[in-house]
Structure 1
């Protein structure tokens, strides 16, 4: 790594900031919030309600009295990336990780990611659904979606990752803020991968569980998001990106 890990992590208020962008997740949000808050970690949970039209806002308001919970209410749903940027501004943890508001990912895997980061003194840890042979991910769907994105990312950035489109991307908060994220929708995910790659940051991976939901159950990503993700990976391979600097 180009950075001194100890210098990078001397100043933080707590171990982990969990960013949870939300849009119409009334069926699952209470359960996932409880799971995150039950983790044996010194963490803060920052929920960003992306102008939900269901009862999501009312449900998360019940957690507002928790000292480690912060809630941001957006008046317009611009996109997941926009919500993440808003939450990142408030993050004070040593690491930042993104948690979706559904039940596709198991928050217990976040504990393993933190352990790996501490062990390896890593600046970036991804949770890979592919490394877990027992994962519920559909090989057919992944073949034409995530596998293609992963291949493009590996070819462009030589990062060796196995799951580019995973939600579980945990990055040192200082580094994450230095990325100066610009993408407002789902393409913020490959933007993170691209900017880490351009700065020579090693990405570690651990196997994680995955329980995919269907579109009728609330899944929001579309085929056009995959096209935009590939374009994003290509764009940032040649576009000028911020250079990270340790504090």
Structure 2
């Protein structure tokens, strides 16, 4: 059985080679799929060159930037057709998610359906964040937790591992978020709708190695509106 890592990229030329080499050095038999949204900095070219060196590396090239959620939905729906896949991991390509946590995730996914690399459980945290960003992230998670009713401490986490069997039960057409709010909606679908067994493991989230953060006002507004929508979805199901 295979384990697959999804790496979404947009202008990650400076980071993608580093993270790919780190992953394969740690887990030589892992499979990696890069999802690139037609990066102007030619991230895809870097990946294609690395594919000559790593047979378990592949790339999914999309025509335009459509958001993180759209990239994941596209990649997951294509990937789960492969019945040899046991689990899928999503992580950032910019070095924010340390590769050292990957073996821990792969061990724990044998007992659970969804493993979340969490900043907000004991032992977790963030590194080199300014005060405002820390408070915004912390408040955002408390806000999402309140409206969704989920007992998950890091609903906006992007470092997760999920079994293929759970992914096969999700109708991704019913996930409306195309941006970062996808992280919240995806966990809601897994934990609330499907009753997935969830475990959060502590991680230290690091600042990106190179480049600029892609958080925008649109991303923030989507994160404000979505949890309220999910709250009413829970009410309608009662």
TM-score bracket for this pair, using the shorter chain length: 0.7 to 0.9
Specify which structure has the higher proportion of helix: 2
Moved more, 218-227 or 53-62: 218-227
Relative to structure 1, the CA distance from residue 239 to residue 130 in structure 2 (aligned partners, 3 Å threshold; closer, same or farther) is closer
Partner residue in 2 for 1:128? 118
Please, which of 47, 66, 69 is the counterpart of residue 78 of structure 1?
66
Relative to structure 1, the CA distance from residue 54 to residue 18 in structure 2 (aligned partners, 3 Å threshold; closer, same or farther) is same
Q: CA deviation at 1:59?
A: 0.5
Q: CA deviation at 1:133?
A: 5.1
Give per-residue Cα distances to partners, 1:93-125, cap 9 Å, x unaligned. Answer: 21111121101110121211111222xx10011
Please, which of 103, 109, 113 is the counterpart of residue 101 of structure 2?
109
In 1, the alpha carbon distance for the partners of 2:137 and 2:150 equals 15
Give per-residue Cα distances to partners, 1:47-90, cap 9 Å, x unaligned. Answer: 11111000311100112233211211111111111111221112
Q: 1:50 and 2:28 equivalent?
A: no
Relative to structure 1, the CA distance from residue 139 to residue 164 in structure 2 (aligned partners, 3 Å threshold; closer, same or farther) is farther
Relative to structure 1, the CA distance from residue 139 to residue 133 in structure 2 (aligned partners, 3 Å threshold; closer, same or farther) is farther
Counterparts of 1:1-247 in structure 2 under 5 Å? 13-14=1-2, 16-40=3-27, 42-65=29-52, 66-88=54-76, 89-91=78-80, 92=82, 93-118=85-110, 121-131=111-121, 132=123, 135-136=126-127, 138=129, 140-181=131-172, 182=175, 183-199=177-193, 200-213=195-208, 217-239=211-233
Q: CA deviation at 1:136?
A: 0.7
Q: Which runs of 5+ in 1 are unaligned?
A: 1-12, 241-247
Partner residue in 2 for 1:10? none
Compute the RMSD of aligned alpha carbons.
2.3
What TM-score do you get using the length of structure 2 for normalisation? Answer: 0.83
Q: Which runs of 5+ in 2 are unaligned?
A: none
Q: Is the 8 A contact 1:129 1:208 kept in 2?
A: yes
What TM-score do you get using the length of structure 1 for normalisation? Answer: 0.81
Relative to structure 1, the CA distance from residue 71 to residue 95 in structure 2 (aligned partners, 3 Å threshold; closer, same or farther) is same
Relative to structure 1, the CA distance from residue 53 to residue 143 in structure 2 (aligned partners, 3 Å threshold; closer, same or farther) is closer
In 2, the alpha carbon distance for the partners of 1:135 and 1:56 equals 27
Residue correspondences, number: 224
